[in-house]
Amino acid sequence: MQRTSTILVSLALTLLATSATATTCREDACDVGQHVTTYSAPGEPVAICATDALAAYSNFMLYLVAADAASTQQATVDPNAVEAKATGDSVDVLKRLREASGIASANEALKACSPLKSGASVVVLEVSKKTNNAKVSGTNGEAAFWIPTGFLER
């Protein structure tokens, strides 16, 4: 009986901790002016960019590159090669996102952006309903950048 009680208490504490974790601005929309924190898991590539369109294209490319690297077991993957071998709906999405960003290639897009630094305190300046990205700046007035809302925690 003692073992069962210990397991149930452990399970209850785990559920409580899970429900108390921060939510992202993708799960529960953040408001303009809201203070949030950037987040990314170790090994999860996220680009922060000067424009909404560039962030949309770059982060979709990073998603495809990560998926390709996982499926091919390669340590390094050329984003331009990933884009060239895209299939199905991804081809159309990539073309539209690249054209909207004004960038000629995936490598150029990723060079124009910076990797996300997790744990930065930022303020939401604008949220794009079209791309689900948010324009944020540091709480001390640092330069603004665009980031997917899924990487902003309340």
pLDDT tens, position by position, 83-126: 888 889 989 999 999 999 999 999 999 999 999 999 999 999 99
The answer to whether residue 20 scores a pLDDT higher than 90 is no
Q: Which residue has the higher pLDDT, 43 or 45?
A: 45
Work out the burial of residue 24: count CB atoms within 10 Å of its CB; fewer than 13 is exposed, 13-18 middle, 19 or more buried.
Answer: middle
The answer to whether residue 10 scores a pLDDT higher than 70 is no
Which pLDDT score is estimated for 71? 86
Q: How far apart are CA 51 and CA 101, in angstroms?
A: 8
Beta bridge partners of 152: 38
> Model-level pTM?
0.81
SS (H, E, C) 85-133: CCCCHHHHHHHHHHHHHCCCCHHHHHHHCEECCCCCEEEEEEECCCCCE
The answer to whether residue 64 scores a pLDDT higher than 70 is yes
Q: How far apart are CA 97 and CA 56, in angstroms?
A: 7
